[in-house]
A and B are shown apart, each in its own frame.
Chain A
Amino acid sequence: MVHLQKFHEEHAKDGLLVFAIAMHPKREVARELTRELGVTYPVFDGLDSDLGRLYAYG
């Protein structure tokens, strides 16, 4: 997440959209983590989503 934040900061003005699809089993923990890590790019809540079920793993 932190590494992608740098891409966001460096390339957003050039038209790059950085986003994450959060799959952490506890939303509050994921939310807190994005705050702690200073993540400012969009983060979708992917838990319980069809997209998350289809493509998320690991």
Chain B
Amino acid sequence: MLGFHFRHGWHASYRRTMDTAIARRIRPTRPRGPLRAGLLLALLAAPSPAQLSPREPLPELELVSTDGAAFRVVKEAGRVVVWRDGSEERPKALVVHFFQPDCLQCRAQLKPLDALHRAYAERGVVVLGVAHRGTAEQARSLRGDLGLALPLAVPAEGTKIGRAAAGDALGIADASGRLRFAQAGFGEGDEKLWREALEALLAGREPPRATVARERLKAGDRFPSVSLPSLRSGKTMSLTGADGRLLFVDDAGRATKPKAALFFFSRY
């Protein structure tokens, strides 16, 4: 049975919680009957509902662009204002993508975001990528590798983005700074949803979808048996349940009975 810990992305604070949970599963402090194999889920690719939330305000951001210039997203007199390098812009809509430079999925998302920037910049939309756990150098390198034109920035020294950016998240805010669309993670074809949201906002309408929701595993679910090739060798590995215990057979045919398992779906 699946345990708990349902996270999106990775945050240093998760380590403590997971250490405790793992210790309880595999080294119980109280004597008890035969250990049951528990499955402890740490789904690092799962969206967390506590991130960007539609109808809430986008957090104000104190950033530094990859060129080293100050970059701020603030709210003034009911309007979102983007300050960069001494100039001010009051966009009709703002798309903010929080990402990690070493995340391949995030990198895959940046190309269609760049296309969005190129298509909508002249229509008053600011599209911004914030490398919330990376360095300006990493973000600059990414710009060069991917040929990006959209603005990229990192949090200003001493500031934190907070829970809004745990993992990766994308938000589209209207001119007042209210989030009208929120998404965690990325799937092919999502750029169509972003364009639908922007076209609706620019026309003064409600976006057709406020969030991108996907099926997810829940604590308490019974994880299905897995029999798939090893990414390394191509030979089959399996994880099944037998007599109330997990049974793992690796690609060399060696079988073990783990006390608990920690797994994640990884796009990178």
**Using a CB–CB distance below 8 Å, which chain A residues touch chain B?**
1, 3-4, 7, 11, 14-25, 27, 29-31, 33-34, 42-46, 49, 51-52, 54-58
Contact = CB atoms under 8 A, between A and B. Distances in A.
Given A45-B228, A51-B224, A57-B216, A16 B266 contact: no
Contacts of B186: 58
Interface string B11-31: 000010010001001110000
A46 B268 CA distance: 12
B105 A42 contact: no
Interface residues of B, number: 52
Residue from the set B167, B217, B261, B267 with the largest chain A CB neighbour count within 10 Å: B267
B259 A16 contact: yes
Contact of B268 (A7, A15, A17, A33): A33
B27 A14 contact: yes
Given A20-B263, A21-B263, A57-B214, A49 B232 contact: no
A17 B230 contact: no
B250 A42 contact: yes
Contacts of A20: 263-266
B185 A7 contact: no
B134 interface: no
Interface in B26-76: 26-27, 42, 44-47
B184 A17 contact: no
Contact of A55 (B105, B168, B216, B229): B216
A53 B22 CA distance: 28
A23 to B, nearest CB: 5
B231 A7 contact: no
A4 B104 contact: no
A34 B267 CA distance: 12
A4 B7 CA distance: 13
Nearest to B42: A4
Given A42-B250, A55-B216, 11 more contacts: A11-B26, A16-B260, A20-B266, A21-B263, A43-B232, A43-B266, A51-B228, A54-B215, A57-B47, A57-B187, A58-B8
Given A11-B26, A19-B239, A46-B228, A57 B215 contact: yes
Nearest to B27: A14
Contacts of A3: 10, 15
B80 interface: no
Contacts of A44: 226, 228-231, 237
A6 B251 CA distance: 22
Interface string B160-187: 0000000110000000000000001111
Given A43-B230, A51-B224, A7 B261 contact: no
A49 B265 contact: no
Contacts of B217: 55
